[in-house]
Each structure stands twice: as structure tokens, then as C-alpha cells.
Structure 1
Amino acid sequence: MRAIAVSAFDAEPCLVEVPKPDPGAGDVRVKVEYAALNPLDAQPPGRPPDGGFSAAFPLIVGADFAGRVDMIGPGDNRFRVGDPVFGRVTVQPPGRCGAYSEYVCVPQDSPVTLVPRELPLRLAAALPTAGGTAAQILGGTAVHSGRNLLVVGAAGGVGSFLTQLAAARGLAVVAAVRGDEGRRMKALGATATVDTTLAAGELERAVRELYPAGADALVDLVSTGPAAFAAHAALVREGGVAVTTRGAAAPRGVARVDFRFAPTARLLDELAAAAARGELRVPVDMELPLEKAPQALLRSRAGGARGKTVFTL
């Protein structure tokens, strides 16, 4: 089967031919029709420290997928051949494959579930990581307890979902983006948008103008260093909360939440139902054939994502 894989630690991904995987006990094998790009997919796997896992190359990349069950492993199973499903590959021990492949095997009790009849598979594929991350940030932290929310990196997949979910809960969302994304973010429910490329201090000026005492909460999806995160967290009022998906310190008086994603099938069911009802727009920005995935991953690594990219198989 065709797949996008790396041949060694720190190697760049490329299109390869690998054997089709066989499902183990309790597994389902899915004929993948769509796979979705997430920023972590673009990072070549680094060599683990001594005592780390022993990788079996080639390692197939990718986490999010949608397709149809084509084989059931031994034992009882909650799925049937032909079921339309979507989900997330959470573990890649030797013999398993990632989502950027024509077939993927996943345990039935992993984050995988049925696709509602009203939801196209291409949209379902874009939901698991980005949509699930947004939903867990909003539901599992103190972010939802405020009246307003500053989202830095709002134009990407997670930010697009988070803006919608927060707005649906009645939070006023300030979407900080790079470039001219204001119209799209307001269509997703943002109260205000700020182009952070216009001038130094533009984000601080805009936030202070809207909320002189500071925003109630921050979700920073892009800052990789403590200085950048601290600068954004300084825009949060005393007693507020700052969430980082990258790990960094927050200023004194602001509660920091170092977010860790823990997807479940139930969470995917809730997201899919909201998308099927039209309550949650799935921001697919680009659809590409699988062989274009290596170039798309390089572009993703450069940053500035707008919505989601899905690959067709």
C-alpha cells in the first residue's frame, strides 16, 4: 500500500510502498479515504534517549483519518465491515501504521467512532486532533469561567474550532492572527481580530482598549519560548488563566495551565454530532492527493496555517 513515512530518525517523510497491516485481536482495519494534517505531523521523529522505544522503520506519519472498516480482528468488536469511521492513531508500536496510508489498524477502544450520516468523511477527518484539542481546552480548564478569551494563533485548525466553541458558550473572543484573517475569524464567531504582523505592540494595544484590566483568559497556540508566552500572558488580568499548548511560565497572579490532549471516542462523537448539525464549521482550507503530503508538511513546519489541510487517498 502507499504511505507517507520516514526511513530514519530526523529524516524527511516521503511516499513509500509498505505491506498492508493486519488487524490484531480487538482491532479494526480501516480503508482510509482522508487523512488530516496536524502541526506535529510535520516534525521529523527525533532519536529517543537511551532506553527509549526501538523504532521499526519505515515509520508512517499522521494521526487523523476517516474511511470505512474493511476488516475486523479476532474477538468481539463494536464495529462492522463497511462502517464509516473516523478517529486518531494514538500509538505506533512496530507493526502499526499512521494515518497517512491507504490502510490503518486501530484498537476498537481507541479514539475511533462512527461518522454520522450527515457528515462528509473529508470533514470528519479534520476533527479529531484540532477539534478535540479545542473542546478539551474549553471544557477541561478554567477558560470557560470567564467572559472573554484571547486566542493567539486563532487562524489554525485548533484556533478555528476554539473560536467557534467559545463563541457558542457566550465568550467574547479576541482572535490574534498573522495576516488578513479578520473576516474569516469573525464569521467563525470572533468578537474582534488583531493582525499581529501590522506593528509591534498592536496586540497589547487592542486588548487593553477592549479590556483595560486585561483579558479573562488566554489560549496561546503558537508561542514556543517562555518570553513570547509571558508577553501574551501579561495581557491577562490578575486572577485570570493562561493556557499553553507548548509549555512556558505565566506571570505572577495568572494561573498557568499546561495543556495535554487526551482524546476519547465520546469526545469525537460530540464533535461529529455538532458538525453534522451545522453548529460547528470544519475549516478545511486545502485538499491534496497523498503524494503531495511531504511538501504540505514542509509548509506546515514554516507556520502560518489557515484552517485544515486534508489528504485524499
Structure 2
Amino acid sequence: MRAVAVRAFRADPEVIHVPKPEPGPGEVLVKIEYAALNPFDWQVAEGFFDGRVPHVFPLVLGVDFAGRVDVVGPGEHRFVVGDAVYGQAGRTPLGTGTFAEYVIMPQDAAIAGVPDGLALRAAAALPTAGMTALQILRAGVALEPGDSLLVVGAAGGIGSALTQLAAARDLRVVAAVRGDERERMGALGAEFTVDTTEESVREACRRAFPGGLDAVVDLASADPESFAAHAALLRPGGTALSTRSAAPPGRGVNFQLRADGALLEALADAAGAGQVHMPVEGEYPLEKAPEALARNRAGGARGKTLFVP
């Protein structure tokens, strides 16, 4: 089968041919119809996780997908051939990814059925960004309707999903972005949008919420100093959370996604209820994946990139 892979860390991604996998006990083989790009994908290719988790080469990239069950392995199973499914193929060893024609998924992993009414194209854009946003609101920050939430880096995939899901819970969302995104973020549910190239987040938030914010979710800051500047905008007792491990010990929460099928099912329910959708920036064949990975690494994404095997 065709797949997008690197032959070594920091090598250029390329389209190669690898054997079509066969499912074992408790696994399904999914024929991929759409795979979605995440920053995690180029981070894996660059070796960010070398020494932390095992890898296999050639290392097939990608984790998010939607497709249909093609083969069911031996044993008990949740799915049958032809089922529409979506999920996140982030298990170790890294390198058996979704930028390919097929992927193997354990049936007890982060895979769930796609409900009627949700297109596979829309489902493929949801898993990593949507599960992260949903789990942050479920377990990362304790908020009530009417509470204020600052989302730093709100224009990307996680930020877009988080803004929508928070607005659906009647939270007052402040979206901090680079560039004029007031119209788009407002359509996603943000009450305020701050263009950080024109105004400081501190000044805008102090003006709108002089008593401090109830929570901050920082999706952008990679260093403790930048994270601390955003956390300083909290009211006493507020929560600051980082998705980039920038929170110093005792001064915030460093969030890590714990993906599973139940979370995907809840996300699908939210999507079906119209509470979240991921805007798609572009749709490309696998041959365009190397260029798309380079663009994503440069930053500035305003929606999800999908690949069609």
C-alpha cells in the first residue's frame, strides 16, 4: 500500500510502498478515506519523541483518520466489515500511522463509530483536536456557565474546538490569536477576540475582566515565562493549563490527552448536536503531504488539512 513515511529522523517525508497490514486478534483493518494533519506528525518525524517511546522505520506518519472497517481480526469484536469509524492511531511503536491507505486499530483503542449524519470528512478532522478540547473542559478546568476562559492560540485546531465546546457550555471565551480573526472566532463562539499583533493580551483582558479570568488554557507558549504572563491574568483560585508542558511545578496544569473510544463517542455526540465542527483548510492527495507538513510546521494554520489516500 502507499504511505507517507520518513526513513530516519529528520529525513524528508516521501510516499513509499509498504506491505498491507493484517489484523490480529482483537484488531480491525480500516480502509482510510481521510487522514488529518496535526503538529504531532511533523514532531514525530523530527525525532521529538526519540528515546521516550519506541519507533519503527520506515516511520509512517499520521494519527487522525476516518474510514470503513475492511477486515475484522479473530475474537470478539465491536465492529463489523463496512462500519464507518474514526479515531486516533497514536499507539506505540510510533510509525504505523494513518497517512496511508490502511491502518490497523485495536478495537479497545481510540476508535469509535461515526454516527449517521456525520460525514467521514468531518469526522477525520476531529479526533486529536476535539478530544483534547473536550477532555480539557471535562477534567482540566472546572468551570460553570458564565465563567471566563482565555484561550491562547485559539486559531488552530485545538483552539477552534475548545472555543466551540466552551461556548456551548455558556462560557465567556476570550480568543487570543495572531491576526484579525474576530469574524471567524466570533462565529465559533468567542465573546472577545484579541489580535496579539495589535494589542497585548494583558491589556485586553484587564479591561474586559478587571477582577481576573476564571481559567486560562495556553496552547501556544512553549516557555514558563510566557505561560506565567498569561497565568497572571487569573483571579485568585483560577486555573491555568498548558498543552505544551510550560507550566512550572505548582503554578499550573500540564495537560496530556488520554484518548480512548468513550471520549471519541462523546465527541461524536457533540459534533452530531452541532456543538463542534472543525473547519477544513485544504484537502490533498498523499503526494502533497510533504509540502503540507512543511507548511504546518511554519505555523499559522486556520483549519485542518486532510489527506485522501
1:305 counterpart residue number = 301
1:278 counterpart residue number = 274
CA distance, structure 1, for counterparts of residue 50 and residue 201 of structure 2 = 38
Q: SS of 1:296's equivalent?
A: helix
Q: Does the 8 Å contact 2:78/2:107 carry over to 1?
A: yes
CA distance, structure 1, for counterparts of residue 121 and residue 292 of structure 2 = 17
CA distance, structure 1, for counterparts of residue 301 and residue 254 of structure 2 = 22
Instruction: Please report how far the alpha carbon of residue 115 of structure 1 lies from its aligned counterpart in structure 2 after TM superposition.
Output: 0.6
2:50 counterpart residue number = 48
* Residues 142-157 of structure 1 mapped to structure 2, 5 A cutoff: 142-145=141-144, 147-157=147-157
Q: Which runs of 4+ in 1 moved over 4 A?
A: none
* Residues 140-289 of structure 1 mapped to structure 2, 5 A cutoff: 140-145=139-144, 147-199=147-199, 202-249=200-247, 255-289=251-285
Letter in 1 for 2:278: V
Q: Does the 8 Å contact 2:247/2:253 carry over to 1?
A: no
2:111 counterpart residue number = 112
- 1:193-215: per-residue Cα shift (whole Å, max 9, x none)? 0011124xx21111000011221
Please, which runs of 5 or more residues in structure 2 have no aligned partner? none
1:296 aligned residue (282, 285, 292)? 292
Instruction: Please report how far the alpha carbon of residue 16 of structure 1 lies from its aligned counterpart in structure 2 after TM superposition.
Output: 1.1
CA distance, structure 1, for counterparts of residue 124 and residue 247 of structure 2 = 33
* Residues 91-110 of structure 1 mapped to structure 2, 5 A cutoff: 91-93=91-93, 97-110=96-109
CA distance, structure 2, for counterparts of residue 118 and residue 195 of structure 1 = 35
CA distance, structure 1, for counterparts of residue 151 and residue 36 of structure 2 = 22
CA distance, structure 2, for counterparts of residue 153 and residue 287 of structure 1 = 23
Instruction: Please report how far the alpha carbon of residue 309 of structure 1 lies from its aligned counterpart in structure 2 after TM superposition.
Output: 1.3
Q: Does the 8 Å contact 2:54/2:92 carry over to 1?
A: no
Query: What is the number of residues matched between the two proteins?
Result: 306
**TM-score (normalised: structure 2):** 0.94
Q: Does the 8 Å contact 1:37/1:309 carry over to 2?
A: yes
Instruction: Please report how far the alpha carbon of residue 189 of structure 1 lies from its aligned counterpart in structure 2 after TM superposition.
Output: 0.5
CA distance, structure 2, for counterparts of residue 85 and residue 182 of structure 1 = 34
CA distance, structure 2, for counterparts of residue 53 and residue 174 of structure 1 = 36
CA distance, structure 2, for counterparts of residue 160 and residue 143 of structure 1 = 19
Instruction: Please report how far the alpha carbon of residue 304 of structure 1 lies from its aligned counterpart in structure 2 after TM superposition.
Output: 1.6
Instruction: Please report how far the alpha carbon of residue 53 of structure 1 lies from its aligned counterpart in structure 2 after TM superposition.
Output: 5.7
Q: SS of 1:71's equivalent?
A: strand
Instruction: Please report how far the alpha carbon of residue 250 of structure 1 lies from its aligned counterpart in structure 2 after TM superposition.
Output: 5.4
In 2 relative to 1, CA 304–143 (structure 1 residues): closer, same or farther, beyond 3 Å?
Answer: farther
CA distance, structure 1, for counterparts of residue 239 and residue 55 of structure 2 = 39
**TM-score (normalised: structure 1):** 0.93
Instruction: Please report how far the alpha carbon of residue 303 of structure 1 lies from its aligned counterpart in structure 2 after TM superposition.
Output: 1.4
CA distance, structure 1, for counterparts of residue 89 and residue 275 of structure 2 = 26
Q: CA RMSD in A?
A: 1.8
Letter in 1 for 2:262: R
2:38 counterpart residue number = 38
Q: Does the 8 Å contact 2:247/2:254 carry over to 1?
A: no
Q: Percent identity among equivalent residues?
A: 57
* Residues 13-92 of structure 1 mapped to structure 2, 5 A cutoff: 13-43=13-43, 44-46=45-47, 48-49=50-51, 55-92=55-92
CA distance, structure 2, for counterparts of residue 22 and residue 14 of structure 1 = 23
Please, which runs of 5 or more residues in structure 1 have no aligned partner? none
Q: SS of 1:144's equivalent?
A: coil
Q: SS of 1:297's equivalent?
A: helix
Name which of structure 1's ranges 52-61 and 211-220 shifts more when overlaid on structure 2: 52-61
Instruction: Please report how far the alpha carbon of residue 45 of structure 1 lies from its aligned counterpart in structure 2 after TM superposition.
Output: 4.2
CA distance, structure 1, for counterparts of residue 214 and residue 69 of structure 2 = 44
Q: SS of 1:58's equivalent?
A: strand
